[in-house]
Every structure is written in C-alpha cells, then in structure tokens.
A and B are shown apart, each in its own frame.
Chain A
Amino acid sequence: MKLILLLFALIATPLAAQTALPPAPYADQQLADPALERKAKALMETIRCLTCQSQSIADSNASMAGDMRSQIRERIMAGEQPEAIRAWLIARYGDWVSYEPTAAPILWPLWAAPLVLLGLGVLLLRSRIKRKARS
C-alpha cells in the first residue's frame, strides 16, 4: 500500500509543478526594498483569493493567488500606489475581490452601522443612568 502511495506521490509532484505555469516570478519572492514589500504585503492581505474558500491571496497556495501576488509586487515595484492597484483589480474582477468594502452606495449602511449601533447604545445607556441617578 505504502509503495503505491509513494508511486502516486512521484507522479503527482510534477503534475503539481506544472500548474504553476505561466511563471509568476514574484509569487513567493519578496521585494528587495522592505518598505515596498510591506506595502505589497498589506495590500495582498486585503485581496480575496478567487479560487479559494474565504482566504486572502496572502495566505493561499492556489496558483491564481500566486499570480496575483506576483502582479501586485511587480506593480508596487513599478511605483504604483496600493489603492490604484486595488482599483485595477476591482475593475477586473469586481468588488468581490477586495476584502475591504468599497465606498459604493450599496455599502454605505455597512459603514454607518458602527456609528448607528454605538449611538443607539449610548442613548439607551444615558437615558437609563440619568433616570436612575435621579430616582
């Protein structure tokens, strides 16, 4: 049994290697400038891996995630700003690709939620304690 499995592994390895084509040189290669690499990394952590189950491209083994990491590093190296790259990715793949919700009107309630919830809570709290302090 173990022999068969070993054989399987030997066949599977080159197959797995082939899926890495076309080459993405910066998929797993850091940029030489640490500041640029930090910028690229921060962006990658907020970009969704489209072929995975809720993972960012910063922590995915999928080959497509590798391609996207490489793209991001190359663009950062070429001097592009992270938000411009995000906009480019969104134009290409839709809002879904960005874990950071955009400012699209359909998302306004989402951004308003914390203020509304906190406001409601504080109002509730204030009225209660005032009333209670008086009594």
Chain B
Amino acid sequence: MIAETGLAALWLAASLALLQLVLAFVGVKGNKPDLLAAVRPAAVAQGVLTAIAFALLIALFMRSDMSVLLVATNSHSAKPWLYKFAGTWGNHEGSMLLWVTVMGVAGAAVALFERALRRDTHMATLGGQAAISLGFYAFLLFSSNPFARIDPAPADGQGLNPLLQDPGLAFHPPTLYLGYVGLSVAFSFAIGALLTRQVDASFARAMRPWVLGAWVLLTLGITAGSYWAYYELGWGGWWFWDPVENASLMPWLAATALLHSVTVLATRDALRAWTVMLAVVAFSMSMVGTFLVRSGILTSVHAFAVDPTRGSFILGLLALYIGGALALFGWRIGAVREGAPFELVSRETMLVINNLLLTVILGLVLIGTLYPLMTEAFGHKVSVGAPYFDRIAGPIALALMIAMAAGPLVRWRRDQARVVSKRLLIPFGIALLLSSLVSALAWGRIGILPFLGLVIAGSVAVASLAPLWKRNLRRTPLFTYGMVIAHLGCAVSLGGMASDSAFTVEKLVAARPGDTIETAGWQLRFLQIQPLAGDNWTALQADMEVRRNGASVTIHPQSRFFASPPTSTSEAALLTRWDGQLYVVLGEEVEGGRWQLRIWWKPFVTLIWLGGIMIALGGALALLGRERRGWLMKWRARAAA
C-alpha cells in the first residue's frame, strides 16, 4: 500500500506540473490573472507531493519491504538503520526520485518565498520550473519507477555497495543534489526573464539569493564528497578527476561564474545576455553530469545499474531542454538592450576576467571529460586524466586566484591603475617573501605547480583580507564578510592542496605485530591484529600505538569484509593534528605473519576541506547579509508608512 501511495503521489505531482506549465504560459501570454492565481498553489502542492513520495520510499527502505523491487535489489535487512535510510538514494531510481523531489521542493520555495520578482516574470519562472520537472517526472515514471513491486518477494535483499555504507552517504548526495538541482531555479529564472523580456538589475537582485543558496549547498556537497573519497578509498587521494567528480565540478564552475556576473548585473546593469546564458549553462551542466553518470557510458562507483534506454531518455531530455533554452535565448536576446558600458580599470572588468577564466576552465573540463567518448566513436580508446587537467586547468586556476585577490581591491565604475597597484603592494611583498622561503626550504624537491600554489595561497590569503583594512569592522556589511571569508577559503584550500602534493611523506611497509615503524617524525608501534564483527561485516583490525613526541595514541585501521554483496573495504585510521593528518591503512597479510601497511603523513591536508567549508560559509553569510538588508529596508519602509 505504501508503494502504491507513493506512485500515486508521483503521478499526481506530474499532472500538477503539466497544469502549472499550461496555466503559467497561457496566463502570462494572455495576461489572465485568474489563471495565474492557480500557478503558485500548483507549485506548492507539487512540492508537497514529491516530498511525500520521497518520504514513503524512505519508509519502504526502513521497513526493508522486500516486495518492492528497488528495496530487494539494493538493501538488506541486516544493514544498520542509517544505511537503510541513506540507502534510499544509494541507487539509480532512489537518486532520481531525490532529484525530482529537490526540483519540486525548490519550485514550491520559489512560489512561496520569491517576492522581489515582477509578477509576470515570477509566473513564467514557475512555468519554466514545471516544464523541466515534467521531463524528469516522465523519466522517473516511464523508465525508473522506484515503487515497482516484485512477486514473489525474495527472503532478503541483495545489499548495498559496501563502499557506500558510510555516514558520508547520509550527507554527501542530498547536499550535492540540493545544489545541483537547485540550479534548476536559476535556469527557470532565465527562461522566465527571456519570456517576459525582463533582463535587468531588479531581475538579477531577485535571482541572486537562489543562485547563492544552490552554490553554497553545491560547495558543501563537493567538499563532503572529496573528504569521503579521501578516507574511504584508502589511498590518500582527495580528487581523482574522475568523470563523475568532473560532473559535479562543472555546474560548480558555472554557478561560481554566475554568482559573480549576477552581481555585476545587479549592481551595474551590465552583462545582461551573459548572465542569462550562464544561468542556462549552469543547470545544463547539472543535466549533462546526470546523463554522463546515469547513462552508464562512464563506469564509476556512482554509476549503479546500467541501462541503455535510460541513457537515451536522458539524452533526449538534455537535447530538449538545453536546445530549447538556447533557441529561446537566440530568439529573445536580440531584444535585450546592451547593459551599461564600463571602464578598463574597474571592478566590472575584474569580474569579467573572473568569468572568462572560470568559463575557460569549465570548457576544458567538459572537453577533457567528453574527449575519450568522442575518440572511442572513432575506434581509438584514450584516457584523459589528472596529468592533463592539472597541467592545463592548474595554471589557469592559479591566474584566477590572482584575479580573485585583486578584484575586491578595485572600485566599481572606474579606478586608477596606480592606486590599485599600491593596494596590492603588501600581498606582492608577501609573495616575494614566501617564494624565497619555500625555495630555501624545498628547492628541487617540489614541482612547479605546488610551489606556485604555496606562494599564491599565502599572498592571496593576505590580499583577501585587505577589503577589511582600515574599515569599521562593526559597520562592515555582512556580505562583505561573506566575500572575504569565501575568498580566504579559496586560499586556504589551495594551500592545503599544494602542501599535500609538495610535502606528503609516504611509507609502505610489511610489518609484524611488535614492530616499530618510523616515518616523518612519527613512531608507530604495531601492537596486534584482532578480529572484529559489526552489524553486517567482519573485520581484521590492527591496533597501533602512535607517538610523535610526548603522549601516545592508539589507532585502529581495519580491513572489512561484507557478506552481501561480498566485498572487502579498508577503513583507514586518520589521526588529525593541527599541522596535518596521519593516514594509516591496513592491507593484506603477506608471508611470514607480516601485514602490509600504508602510512602517509600529510602536512596541512585538512586545509583543503576547511577551505571548502569556509567558501560555503562565506556564501551563506553573503546570502544572509543581502536578505537581512532586504528585510531591514522593508521593515523601515513599513515603519515610515
């Protein structure tokens, strides 16, 4: 009964989306207020229905209802409750239902909370949101029904991929999807504005909080995913340029560019066409990513079950929506007046440089990700991986960091090159100081990119604080703090990346209990190996006493064996200190009672994710600051009246 109710809720939501689409477009076109009055309730009801369907699927997983095909193929009654719960979206159908739910709830939020947008644009935006939702409802209902039954029901399920059985599964996919799919709102805003020809500063001010919100969640989702891969895969890597990671990076790059161009549009009424284009591109990248991951043309831990008809279905949706949006763009953008002009030395120019570099990186990541597919069509299998992306996108990203440091120090409208270079004097001095310091410390031992990374991270960190220099800190607006913290976060993260690739010490040993291993100033005493059993796994655990100087700590790297499906995973032991992380992995037993151990000392590696959190926090503060100012102004206006 639960499954059938869920399916009914989905069908109802899909019908409401169709109704919403028709009402919005007929209403806006014919200017019929009575039709438009029903658009917002339809959007809200749709959001509620998708949320109900999703909650029901969670309930089926929690109860381990094996008569539901999806539960039977992806869950197991012996799993801990957290993984029954989070396992709901650890499969193709469940994750697509999460996608549709986020889309529905985001549409409901736009219906309920958007007040700044002109009414006809608001309605057209909701129509756009309904149009894209419809395609994904169709995909879910016709080719990925999460509520399908199986008869007879099996005695127990096939279980969840053990790599996914981690608290990370409860956090990473939902946050990522909130950001990923949240960008659909920006897409719908662009459609709405093109339809009503309202591409102006007030439109940008209305769109900005939605873009910021999605971007914050996307940032958090990517950061969480990176840390999860880092500790779960057991080799100390935190970014693999895996196509699936690229699929989440591309919308982030587009959203970051959009975030900055929408500010130019809101402040100076410039970059109109470009901003609308970016809003279309950002969500298009989300859809391209989903196609790459879900179609099964790429193999990855994210790829779940592979089914070619699904691939063609998503490809069809992609062509329809991206093609449709671009056609609308081409048709209507001629009517959008050029924005205000701007000077060479101005904040606007710096933000255009930011957009240029971000877009070039986005283009390169896209080309690099798709290239192997294209050459395969010509019968030539190639790989494009870390060496390409590091070498090609790395230098551009470093240039972007420098632009990021300088940008906030340049005034809007017009500034003088001489004054700007004076403001950059201190960061430049720091850069010189750092280069000589790093050269003296590690010349010849580290590559050119890590070297530049360290130097640029240090000087950009200082420069990003400069906008607060000589300001009354109590009267500085919250969004300025947001920008400073986000930019500082970029520098912190870059510092962590550069430090990890420059200074990591690796030690591979085969050791016997009783042995002591020394590496990078650490002493590890291998105490013993013992068996251990969890809810649905057994493990061999090494107990190791670790000390640097002073007190010792005991850590427990494990090698886990899961019965359903039969898999083994390694659970790394991580010891976090202020200056880095000790990363210990227990491998297989080798001859002579010795065990293979992999030990890394990674100086300041944690800065990578700390920086990611700072970036998201900065975005959240900026969002709060803008919104609060809006509330304050409204409140004052009301008090005055």
The chain A residues found within 8 Å of chain B, CB to CB, are 1-2, 4-6, 8-9, 12-13, 16-17, 20, 28-30, 41, 45-46, 48, 53-56, 58-61, 94-102, 104, 106-107, 110, 113-114, 117-118, 121-122, 124-125, 128-129, 132-133, 135
Q: Which residue of B lies closest to A14 (CB)?
A: B589
Contacts of A20 in B (CB 8 A): 588
Give 9 A-B contacts (CB < 8 Å), ordered by A residue: A2-B533, A5-B536, A9-B539, A13-B589, A28-B510, A29-B508, A54-B298, A59-B233, A114-B396
> Looking at the complex, which one of B378, B536, B538, B588 makes contact with A106 (CB distance below 8 Å)?
B378
> Looking at the complex, which one of B301, B596, B598 makes contact with A53 (CB distance below 8 Å)?
B301
A113 with B78: CB separation less than 8 A: no
Tell me the minimal C-beta distance from A8 to chain B in angstroms. Answer: 5
With A12-B561, A54-B240, A100-B387 as contacts: A113 and B364 at CB distance below 8 Å: yes
Interface members, chain B 214-234 (any A CB < 8 Å)? 233-234
Dominant SS at the A interface?
A: helix
With A5-B533, A30-B507, A59-B235 as contacts: A17 and B388 at CB distance below 8 Å: no
Q: Which 7 A-B pairs have the closest CB atoms?
A: A99-B385, A59-B235, A100-B387, A9-B538, A132-B341, A96-B381, A121-B356
A101 with B388: CB separation less than 8 A: yes
Residue B587 CB within 8 A of the other chain: yes
Cα distance, A125 to B301, chains bound together (Å) = 40
Contacts of B300 in A (CB 8 A): 53-54
Residue B506 CB within 8 A of the other chain: yes
Interface members, chain B 509-544 (any A CB < 8 Å)? 510, 531, 533, 536-540
Contacts of A98 in B (CB 8 A): 383
Residue B360 CB within 8 A of the other chain: yes
With A29-B508, A121-B359 as contacts: A54 and B382 at CB distance below 8 Å: no
A48 with B392: CB separation less than 8 A: no
Tell me the minimal C-beta distance from A12 to chain B in angstroms. Answer: 5
The stretch that binds A, out of B118-126, B342-350, B610-618, is B342-350
B596 with A101: CB separation less than 8 A: no
The stretch that binds A, out of B8-16, B35-43, B194-202, B367-375, is B367-375
> Looking at the complex, which one of A2, A61, A96, A135 makes contact with B341 (CB distance below 8 Å)?
A135
Q: Which residue of B lies closest to A116 (CB)?
A: B363
With A59-B235, A97-B383, A132-B342 as contacts: A16 and B508 at CB distance below 8 Å: no
Tell me the minimal C-beta distance from A117 to chain B in angstroms. Answer: 5
